[in-house]
């Protein structure tokens, strides 16, 4: 079945450091891929998405490229800020597995990012 | 435009009781999904509703049920609560019927079972 694997946390960085959070997936079809972020006490917010191979999603300085050959969707940011401290979730949606009619998301375990000033 | 609203934000129940959680999607959104978030199991899909019909269901026991009303608002019910049902329950809504649409999440209902 479909699944998502992301690197264990926590990831602790100093402000302005480079960030990479690894995410790989297993899917029988051609999923869409997402990164969501969860701040303390809140629900999930979509950070970026990519719907087909070689697409690059980007938002607020974060980027991720859909790599079909390595089944990966790694999250990167060139210079993190304290305000980026949160839990980051990689997720996939494969509606074709269900005849094209579902928005079901399969999530990775989440990676806690802590940015120190 | 108002976001996804979940009520209540916090609930404390005892084992054996039942509970109903409510979710109001973003105006115009017809798809509503529910997820359970726990430290041990992470985020797990419960079920999805579209136009008052359940069209997908996760691997949860029958004690977990849901429904969607004609105005797209949704409720989920958990009967005969167990300690392991303590979790953050998240609702998400999306616009259209086709898959892989962006889902917008509410802040969640935190359920504690004593």
- Of all residues in chain A, the one with the smallest CA distance to B108 is A43
Summarize pLDDT for A8-49 with one digit per residue, the tens: 889 999 999 999 999 999 988 788 999 999 998 888 999 999
Question: pLDDT confidence of B32, banded at 50, 70, 90?
Answer: very high
In terms of DSSP bridges, do strands A11-14 and A32-38 run parallel, antiparallel, or are they unpaired?
Answer: unpaired
Q: What pLDDT is attached to residue B95?
A: 84
CA distance B33 to B55: 10
Closest CA to B102 of B92, B114, B88, B91: B92
Residue entry with tokens 């990164």: A35
CA distance B97 to B2: 21
Q: Which two tokens stand for residue B57?
A: 């269901």
Closest CA to B100 of A31, A66, A36, A38: A31
Q: Which has the minimum average pLDDT: B11-15, B50-54, B65-69?
A: B50-54
A99 touches chain B (CB under 8 A): no
Query: Which residue in the set B42, B45, B94 is minimally distant from A109, CB to CB?
Result: B42
Asked whether the beta carbons of A22 and A4 are under 8 A apart, the reply is: no
């Amino acid at each position: 079945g479909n699944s998502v694997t992301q690197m264990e946390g926590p990831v602790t960085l100093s402000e302005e450091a480079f960030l990479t959070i690894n995410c790989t997936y297993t899917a029988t079809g051609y999923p869409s891929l997402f990164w969501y972020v969860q701040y303390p006490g809140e629900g999930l917010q979509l950070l970026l998405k990519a719907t087909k191979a070689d697409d690059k999603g980007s938002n607020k300085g974060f980027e991720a490229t859909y790599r079909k050959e390595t089944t990966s969707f790694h999250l990167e940011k060139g210079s993190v800020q304290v305000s980026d401290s949160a839990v980051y979730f990689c997720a996939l949606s494969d509606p074709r597995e269900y005849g094209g009619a579902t928005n079901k998301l399969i999530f990775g375990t989440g990676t806690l990012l802590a940015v120190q000033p | 435009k108002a976001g996804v609203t979940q009520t209540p934000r916090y609930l404390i129940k005892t084992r054996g009781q039942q509970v109903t959680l409510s979710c109001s999607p973003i105006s115009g959104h017809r798809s509503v999904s529910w997820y359970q978030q726990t430290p041990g199991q992470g985020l797990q899909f419960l079920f999805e509703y579209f136009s008052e019909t359940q069209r997908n269901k996760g691997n949860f026991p029958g004690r977990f049920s849901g429904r969607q009303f004609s105005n797209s608002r949704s409720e989920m019910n958990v009967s005969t609560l167990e300690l392991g049902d303590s979790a953050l329950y998240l609702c998400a809504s999306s616009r259209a019927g086709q898959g892989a649409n962006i889902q917008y999440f509410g802040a969640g209902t935190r359920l504690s079972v004593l």
